[in-house]
Amino acid sequence: MAGLAAAFGSGAMTNTIADIEEAEVILITGSNTTENHPVISSFVKRAVKFRGARLILADPRRIKIAAFAHKWLRQNLGTDVAWINGMMHVIIKEDLHDKTFVEERTEGFEELKAMVEKFTPEYVEEITGIPAQDIVDAARMYASAEKASILYCMGITQHITGTDNVKSLANLAMLCGNMGIRGGGVNPLRGQNNVQGACDMGGLPNVYTAYQPVNNPDNVAKMEKAWGVTGMSDKVGLKVTDMIPKAHGGELKSLYIIGENPLVSDPDLNHAEASIKNLDFLVVQDIFMTETAQLADVVLPSACFAEKDGTFSNTERRVQQIRKAVEPPGEAWDDWKITCEIAKRMGYTMDYADSEAIFREITEVTPSYAGLSYDRIDVEGLHWPCPTPDHPGTPILHSTQFPKGKGTFHAIDFIPPAERADDDYPMYLTTGRVLYQYHTGTMTRKTDGLNERAPGSFVEISPQDADKFDIEDGATVTVASRRGEIQAQVQISDKAVTGTVFIPFHYAEAAANKLTNAALDPVSGIPEYKVCAVRVSKAA
Amino acid sequence: MDPENTLTINGNILPFSPGETILDVAREHDIDIPTLCHLKDATPTGECRICVVEVEGARSLLTACTAPAGNGMVVYTESHKVVESRKMLLKLLLASGNHNCAARGSDDRDWTRFQLDVHADDSSPELCPTWGDCRLQDLAYRYQVTGEQFPRTDVPYPMETVNPFIVRDFSRCIKCGRCIQACCDVQVNNAISFGYRGADAKVVAAGDRPLKDSDCVFCGECVQACPVAALVEKDVRYHVRPWETKKVRTTCSYCGVGCQLYLHVKDGRVVKVTGVEDVAPNYGSLCVKGRFGFNFIASPDRLTTPLIKENGEFREASWDEALDKVAENFTRIKNDHGPDAFGVLTSARISNEENYIAQKFTRAVLKTNSVDHCARL
Ligand code: SF4
Ligand code: SF4
Ligand code: SF4
């Protein structure tokens, strides 16, 4: 989210899900929307089918939503900055940008203009493989709309240039004045149910709740007072992607992992496993005995969403309730209760009657949630920011001003992906999700029907590549990268683009992340899951 | 009241906005006109004709879902003509196919024969799977009709049970088309349509193949839309009756859309999920994970007790023992190595409250800011 925060001062979906249906043009990139956010994809499809919206899709794979696209750009992996700059080149050259918006609401336009100067459609074609004319057409289509919405997901962020990619999309939206209006915006689609909430609540090393920086002494003082403690750190903490190497090096002694399974989701799994084994003391709190929990010194059983009260914040910043429907199994507890009990035993009292009492405390220290209460979100959730009890919530961000004042254009040059295909590893690998499974599969794989539809890992490969490497549909192959190898079944599919294979990351037994690259985006710390070089061969 | 835009329904003078149908106006004013095929937010088809109303001056009855409200119209929603028409339609619907609930056969003298027939049809000793939760049955009671006046027409199409989620029972389909609208106009998955003509009409997936071999993505929108027992969740069929369950409203725990859903709970277990109609963000829609992916909740693999590892093996422990052990070790490491020796991973899957508590613990107790979660988007 660092990219959006840099451009606008706030890094969340700027518009609502329902808003998508009002857009005249929708640009989707790096999101296999029908599989990862099925219900959002229906809003897009309805807009196209019934409201005459035009869809631009930038995605190399023939994903389902491609059937609805008016313009489909199949860029080479890792070349997003280039095609976005190319579109802006055309828009500026043909004078299609929103001059009033650029003038009044933004800064840095001249730098942007100078940067995109060299990104002519022809130059962009060279880098991205997208025909020059398609860049021109897409640019005109996007710029022609009164209101155009941009939707993106991990296909944009999981690159070493992830932050740059996001800033580029923000550039494009501001250039055409698509901010702060219905049917517009830059909209990251959150993969997991409560990523938004985890971030809002300060589950990040650099900020408290509502993105209040931890390295600001006023904030530290405020939180120390609210929590009744002293001596809190004003240093930015470690990102998860720094924790693993520090554990490997022995500086990090202990991890307390709540509801995560980094041993399937982390990039470069072999290294992660060795690092975690090197810890002095590992506590894992989860609903299942995950691959990570297997390595723990203590495992604590927690209640799942159906067994507790609380709130989730969805991808459109809407805070919604969850309610207890059934009892947790055995002795499992709510996660908050477990953490509070540990705190108490370490001499600090954290005592709450229920999750609503915690929510009240949250509203006291979290400006964007200050006006919310369980009562107010009982029937329909509200969008933060909602600063006061009579504030109606904020469905659309930045309608008059950005939190940082003016929106900033970032002039961004193209950097090629960290790892290139070569003679030893001639193909690219990209990873992602499938409709019937979720994340590391710990939940979905417990439903037989979902497994029947998506039983095991597979390697998706184009018919041309299958021919070239003499591989049959259904055969078991070995996929090797510089970091490891896995075996999986081949699915020959015209979804795949020649030269690139796709592997879903849900399956522990053939974890795609044994192959992926831990090279990180320098700002966000997001690993480059989406591009690495591999070799595919028939399994011995 | 602007006399330009008013009409009279059952003697009440009501305002309307141009473009509204008679049904829209009636619903806004809590006047109940029954419907079977009408699906909110989709283009009305007038397929089932249950919503007919009498309009003064009109030569025939009009379908309220398609007839635009007109200035000065005088409408009756339960007149003799209307009721007779609805009764006839219902009788025909009950006679077409296998509507073997009490509504069709309760006054049949040969009850044993009736029951045996039911069992043979359904290969189950139970009443129709949606008995008590069926729009057709409700209307049959409301208008006090059975299907016995007409000979029962048999449906030549066998039941489809070959996918893991949805049973399609063509013998109970009333061809209202709601499922098709749900699939093509709401979800826009375009997996099903009407195939064949006349009496052989059938809802088909591409080339009349089973759903599993079609474009169907098992979102279940069609199941939620079906007013009868033609589309039922496989695991729910005969196992779950609506009066046995309690519904709890909550938020889906899979992706970031945060769909609003009802968990249907029977004997302390979640047995079915439906979307909450009319509220954001999903307005009743769900995907296959949200609707069918709930078995993990009651999975036998759930962790049920704290575990402590000893000599490489886990053993069960009490909460007190496990929590003491965690607190002791955290305290020891903090004393020996300082706050920088810790990392806490909180989660995109737990609640806001729990994330808040996790970061508060990290910052106020462990005294470090090294708290993060794995999913960065
Ligand atoms: S389950 Fe969904 S995709 Fe399949 S037929 Fe029903 S509405 Fe269409
Ligand atoms: S399957 Fe159900 S919803 Fe579809 S046409 Fe038949 S009765 Fe109507
Ligand atoms: S039902 Fe599907 S689309 Fe809706 S929140 Fe759940 S996983 Fe996401």
User: Is A84 inside any structural domain?
Assistant: yes
Q: How many CB pairs under 8 A join A and B?
A: 463
Q: Chain B residue with minimal CA distance to A51?
A: B185
Q: How close is the nearest chain A Cα to the Cα of B372, in Å? A: 4
A61 touching chain B per CB within 8 A? no
Structure-block tokens of residue A444: 């979905």
In this structure, the answer to whether residues A354 and A436 fall within a common structural domain is: no
Beta bridge partners of B346: B373
Q: How many domains does chain A have?
A: 3
Mutate to test the pocket of ligand 1, among B39, B183, B188 (most ligand atoms within 8 A of CB): B183
**Which residues 47-106 on chain B approach chain A with CB closer than 8 angstroms?**
none
For chain B, list the domains and their CATH numbers. Answer: 3-78 (3.10.20.740), 307-374 (no CATH)
Q: Which 3 state secondary structure label does DSSP give A427?
A: strand
Residues in chain A: 540
Residue A435 C-alpha to ligand 3 middle, in angstroms?
Answer: 10
Q: Once rounded to an integer, what is the mean pLDDT over residues A281-304?
A: 96
Structure-block tokens of residue A336: 């908050």
Cis upstream peptide for A267 (omega within 30°): no
Residues in Cβ contact with B98 at an 8 Å cutoff, skipping those fewer than 6 apart: B121, B122, B152, B155, B169, B171, B172
Residue reference for tokens 């729910």: B236
The residue of B183, B213, B353 whose CB has the most chain A CBs within 10 angstroms, and thus the best one to mutate to test that interface, is B353
Tell me which of A434 and A141 has the higher pLDDT. Answer: A141
pLDDT of residue A60: 86
Q: How far apart (Å, rounded) are the C-alpha atoms in residues A139 and B359?
A: 43
User: Is A410 inside any structural domain?
Assistant: no
In this structure, the answer to whether residues A133 and A237 fall within a common structural domain is: no
In this structure, the answer to whether residues A221 and A183 fall within a common structural domain is: no
User: Is A413 inside any structural domain?
Assistant: no
A66 touching chain B per CB within 8 A? no
List, for residues A386-425, the tens digit of each pLDDT value: 999 999 999 998 888 787 788 889 999 998 877 777 888 8
* Torsion sign, CA atoms B51, B54, B55, B57: positive
Q: How far apart (Å, rounded) are the C-alpha atoms in residues A91 and A113?
A: 10
Cβ of B12: how many Cβ atoms within 10 Å? 12
pLDDT of residue A370: 95
Structure-block tokens of residue A30: 């790096």
CA-CA distances (angstroms) from residue A9 to A2, A163, A180, A199, A408? Answer: 9, 14, 14, 15, 9
Least confident of A172-176, A278-282, A431-435: A431-435
Q: Which of A328, A361, A383 is the last residue of a domain?
A: A383
In this structure, the answer to whether residues A166 and A214 fall within a common structural domain is: no
- Nearest CB to A197 within list B286, B333, B352: B352
Residue ID of nearest Cα to ligand 2 atom 2: B226
Q: What angle do CA A358, A362, A365 make, to 5 degrees?
A: 140
In this structure, the answer to whether residues A140 and A56 fall within a common structural domain is: yes
Structure-block tokens of residue B305: 């007790």
Tell me which of A443 and A193 has the higher pLDDT. Answer: A193
pLDDT of residue B103: 45
Residue B175 C-alpha to ligand 2 middle, in angstroms?
Answer: 5
Contacts of B306 in chain A (CB under 8 A): 298-301, 331
In this structure, the answer to whether residues A20 and A160 fall within a common structural domain is: yes
Q: Once rounded to an integer, what is the mean pLDDT over residues A285-292?
A: 93
Residue B275 C-alpha to ligand 1 middle, in angstroms?
Answer: 14
Cβ of A126: how many Cβ atoms within 10 Å? 12
Contacts of A269 in chain B (CB under 8 A): none
Do residues B273 and A325 make contact, with C-beta atoms less than 8 angstroms apart? no
In this structure, the answer to whether residues A147 and A25 fall within a common structural domain is: yes
A81 touching chain B per CB within 8 A? no
Task: Return the CATH number at A14.
Answer: 3.40.228.10
Cβ of B120: how many Cβ atoms within 10 Å? 9
Q: Chain A residue with minimal CA distance to B258?
A: A314
Domain that holds residue A326: 195-383
pLDDT of residue A486: 84
Residue reference for tokens 């004709």: B49
Task: Return the CATH number at A453.
Answer: 2.40.40.20
Q: How far apart (Å, rounded) are the C-alpha atoms in residues A312 and B226?
A: 30
User: Is A88 inside any structural domain?
Assistant: yes
pLDDT of residue A213: 93
Residues with CB under 6 A from ligand 1: B 182-183, 187, 189, 191-192, 211, 216-222
How would residue A260 be classed by pLDDT, with cut points 50, 70 and 90? confident
Residues in chain B: 377
Q: What angle do CA A113, A118, A120 make, to 5 degrees?
A: 105
Q: How close is the nearest chain B Cα to the Cα of A105, in Å? A: 27
A213 touching chain B per CB within 8 A? no
H or E, element range at A498: none
In this structure, the answer to whether residues A45 and A170 fall within a common structural domain is: yes
Cβ of B32: how many Cβ atoms within 10 Å? 10
Residues in Cβ contact with B183 at an 8 Å cutoff, skipping those fewer than 6 apart: B189, B190, B191, B192, B216, B221, B222
Q: How far apart (Å, rounded) are the C-alpha atoms in residues A166 and A162?
A: 6
Q: Do A297 and B358 touch (CB under 8 A)?
A: no
Residue A36 C-alpha to ligand 3 middle, in angstroms?
Answer: 9
Q: How far apart (Å, rounded) are the C-alpha atoms in residues A421 and B137?
A: 64
Do residues B155 and B98 make contact, with C-beta atoms less than 8 angstroms apart? yes
User: Is A517 inside any structural domain?
Assistant: yes
pLDDT of residue A96: 95
In this prediction, the residues of chain B whose per-residue pLDDT falls under 50 are 103-104, 106, 377
Residue A526 reports pLDDT greater than 90 = no
Do residues A495 and B346 make contact, with C-beta atoms less than 8 angstroms apart? no
Taking the CA atoms of chain B, what radius of gyration do you get in angstroms? 28
Question: pTM to 2 decimals?
Answer: 0.89
Q: How close is the nearest chain A Cα to the Cα of B16, in Å? A: 25
Q: Once rounded to an integer, what is the mean pLDDT over residues A340-369?
A: 96
In this structure, the answer to whether residues A121 and A216 fall within a common structural domain is: no
pLDDT of residue A402: 80
Classify strands A382-383 and A517-520 as parallel, antiparallel or unpaired.
Answer: unpaired
Q: Which of A383, A401, A417 is the last residue of a domain?
A: A383
Question: What value of ipTM does the predicted structure carry?
Answer: 0.88
Q: What is the DSSP string of A54-108?
A: EEEEE-SS--GGGGG-SEEE-PPTT-HHHHHHHHHHHHHHTT-S-HHHHHHHEE-
Q: Do B354 and A310 touch (CB under 8 A)?
A: yes
**Which residues 456-485 on chain A approach chain B with CB closer than 8 angstroms?**
none
Contacts of A253 in chain B (CB under 8 A): 333, 337, 341-342
Q: Chain A residue with minimal CA distance to B288?
A: A436
In this structure, the answer to whether residues A155 and A211 fall within a common structural domain is: no
Q: Which of A59-73, A74-88, A330-344, B26-40 has the highest mean predicted lDDT (pLDDT)?
A: A330-344
Residue B257 C-alpha to ligand 3 middle, in angstroms?
Answer: 6
Q: Which of A170, A189, A208 is the last residue of a domain?
A: A189
Residue B133 C-alpha to ligand 2 middle, in angstroms?
Answer: 14
Contacts of A38 in chain B (CB under 8 A): 217, 219, 255, 287-288
Report the mean per-residue pLDDT for chain A.
88
Residue A36 amino acid letter: N
Beta bridge partners of A322: A310
Q: Do A45 and B280 touch (CB under 8 A)?
A: no
B220 sits in the region (left: phi over 0; alpha: psi -120 to 50; else beta) called left
Least confident of A44-53, A99-108, A513-522: A513-522
Q: How far apart (Å, rounded) are the C-alpha atoms in residues B61 and B334?
A: 81
The residue of A26, A154, A253 whose CB has the most chain B CBs within 10 angstroms, and thus the best one to mutate to test that interface, is A253
pLDDT of residue A527: 63
Q: How far apart (Å, rounded) are the C-alpha atoms in residues A357 and A337?
A: 12
Q: Chain B residue with minimal CA distance to A166?
A: B377
Question: Taking the CA of residue A102 as centre, how many other CA atoms within 13 Å lie in the half-sphere pointing to its CB?
Answer: 19
Cis upstream peptide for A403 (omega within 30°): no
Q: How far apart (Å, rounded) are the C-alpha atoms in residues B240 and A466?
A: 47
Task: Return the CATH number at A345.
Answer: 3.40.50.740
pLDDT of residue B377: 39
Q: Chain B residue with minimal CA distance to A366?
A: B356
Residue B43 C-alpha to ligand 2 middle, in angstroms?
Answer: 16
Do residues B285 and B259 make contact, with C-beta atoms less than 8 angstroms apart? yes
Residue ID of nearest Cα to ligand 1 atom 3: B216
B298 touching chain A per CB within 8 A? yes
Structure-block tokens of residue A387: 């600063």
Classify strands A318-322 and A382-383 as parallel, antiparallel or unpaired.
Answer: antiparallel
Closest listed residue to residue A5, CA positions, set A511, A408, A333: A408
Residue A74 reports pLDDT greater than 80 = yes
The residue of B303, B311, B330, B366 whose CB has the most chain A CBs within 10 angstroms, and thus the best one to mutate to test that interface, is B303
Q: How close is the nearest chain A Cα to the Cα of B38, in Å? A: 18
How would residue A535 be classed by pLDDT, with cut points 50, 70 and 90? confident
User: Is A467 inside any structural domain?
Assistant: yes
User: Is A260 inside any structural domain?
Assistant: yes
pLDDT of residue B106: 47
Residue B180 C-alpha to ligand 2 middle, in angstroms?
Answer: 8
Do residues A38 and A435 make contact, with C-beta atoms less than 8 angstroms apart? yes
Residues in Cβ contact with B88 at an 8 Å cutoff, skipping those fewer than 6 apart: none
User: Is A317 inside any structural domain?
Assistant: yes
pLDDT of residue A431: 79
Q: Do B254 and A443 touch (CB under 8 A)?
A: yes
Residue A459 reports pLDDT greater than 90 = no
Q: Which 3 state secondary structure label does DSSP give A534?
A: strand
In this structure, the answer to whether residues A164 and A274 fall within a common structural domain is: no
Q: How far apart (Å, rounded) are the C-alpha atoms in residues B54 and B73?
A: 10
In this structure, the answer to whether residues A202 and A334 fall within a common structural domain is: yes
Closest listed residue to residue A385, CA positions, set A375, A401, B258, A149: A401
Q: Do A237 and B369 touch (CB under 8 A)?
A: yes
